[in-house]
């Protein structure tokens, strides 16, 4: 059974974990707690699984996106399991926290870069259109910057000798900004640039491409995700600056 509050963490638990993966992960954790496997070793494997989504997306047809979804779901599973094993064995470490964040960065970036390369049609008979690879990389950069903006709040507060930010301090002081933030949170559009959501979207778009017989929907998706990533990078930065997190 999970400790109280694990599934209800405001920003530390993915909806996939709450909805289904935590129930699966418990079964895997029970098998691992009696072994010599360490949480950090699981985190390494987790990171590799997330990164493998990029080459998976280069496989033509629906096979590539399906493999990418499997890789990202394995990433999510191990992201749950490494923390559970750490709690069971009481093997906590700053290195584990750091590696977990690195894994999250790399998984999101890998999915988006792989999506851009897929849209560029590397294995097609025609000319490779590197515009889509560029837009996929741009989306990946935006996804990384969004995470970095959040993480750097903790860095700035630590260097200033301030305590960890409270949830209340994350709320914008401006009523207009607070309303905009609530609207964005309700729409959840910013989550599309995260590896788990992006991989599912890519699979849907690949199905549509198969029906149409080209890469139109994938290329449209790359452009939309690049736009979302850049817009969210800017909006997230503004929301941090107008909140009390840096004060």
Q: Hey, CA dihedral for 102, 103, 106, 112, is it positive or negative?
A: negative
Q: How confident is the model at residue 169 (pLDDT cuts 50, 70, 90)?
A: very low
- Whether the pLDDT of residue 76 is over 80: the answer is yes
Which of 115 and 34 is assigned the larger pLDDT? 115
In this structure, of 55-59, 94-98, 122-126, the range with the lowest mean pLDDT score is: 122-126
Looking at residue 21, its pLDDT comes to 87
Looking at residue 165, its pLDDT comes to 72
Q: How confident is the model at residue 51 (pLDDT cuts 50, 70, 90)?
A: very high
The whole-number average pLDDT for the span 187-206 is 89
In this structure, of 106-120, 127-141, 153-167, the range with the lowest mean pLDDT score is: 153-167
Whether pTM > 0.75 for this model: the answer is yes
Cα–Cα distance for residue pair 239/170, rounded to 1 Å: 8
The whole-number average pLDDT for the span 228-237 is 94
Looking at residue 177, its pLDDT comes to 47
DSSP secondary structure letter of residue 167: G
In this structure, of 29-33, 34-38, 43-47, 167-171, the range with the lowest mean pLDDT score is: 167-171
Q: How confident is the model at residue 128 (pLDDT cuts 50, 70, 90)?
A: confident
Does the domain at 15-242 match CATH 3.10.20.30? Answer given as no
The whole-number average pLDDT for the span 34-43 is 94
Domain boundaries, the chain: 15-242
Cα–Cα distance for residue pair 71/50, rounded to 1 Å: 6
User: Contact at 8 Å (CB) between 6 and 87?
Assistant: no
- Cβ neighbours of residue 65 under 8 Å, at least 6 residues apart? 56, 57, 199, 202, 203, 206
- Whether the pLDDT of residue 61 is over 60: the answer is yes
């Amino acid at each position: 059974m999970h400790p109280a509050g694990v599934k209800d963490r405001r920003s530390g638990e993915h909806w996939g974990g709450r909805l289904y993966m935590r129930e699966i992960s418990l079964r895997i954790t029970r098998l691992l707690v009696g072994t010599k496997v360490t949480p950090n070793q699981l985190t390494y494997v987790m990171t590799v699984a997330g990164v493998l989504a990029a080459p998976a997306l280069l496989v033509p047809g629906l096979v590539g996106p399906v493999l990418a979804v499997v890789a990202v779901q394995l990433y999510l599973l191990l992201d749950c399991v490494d923390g559970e094993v750490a709690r069971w064995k009481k093997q906590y470490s700053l290195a584990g926290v750091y590696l977990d964040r690195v894994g999250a960065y790399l998984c999101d970036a890998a999915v988006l870069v792989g999506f851009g390369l897929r849209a560029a049609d590397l294995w097609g008979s025609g000319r490779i259109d590197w515009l889509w690879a560029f837009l996929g990389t741009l989306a990946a950069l935006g996804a990384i910057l969004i995470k970095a903006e959040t993480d750097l709040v903790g860095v700035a507060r630590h260097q200033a000798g301030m305590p960890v930010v409270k949830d209340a301090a994350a709320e914008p002081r401006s009523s207009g900004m607070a309303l905009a933030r609530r609207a964005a949170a309700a729409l959840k559009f910013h989550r599309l640039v995260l590896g788990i959501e992006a991989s599912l979207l890519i699979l849907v778009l690949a199905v549509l491409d198969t029906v149409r017989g080209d890469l139109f929907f994938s290329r449209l998706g790359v452009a939309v995700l690049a736009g979302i990533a850049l817009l969210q990078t800017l909006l997230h930065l503004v929301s941090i600056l107008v909140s009390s997190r840096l004060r």
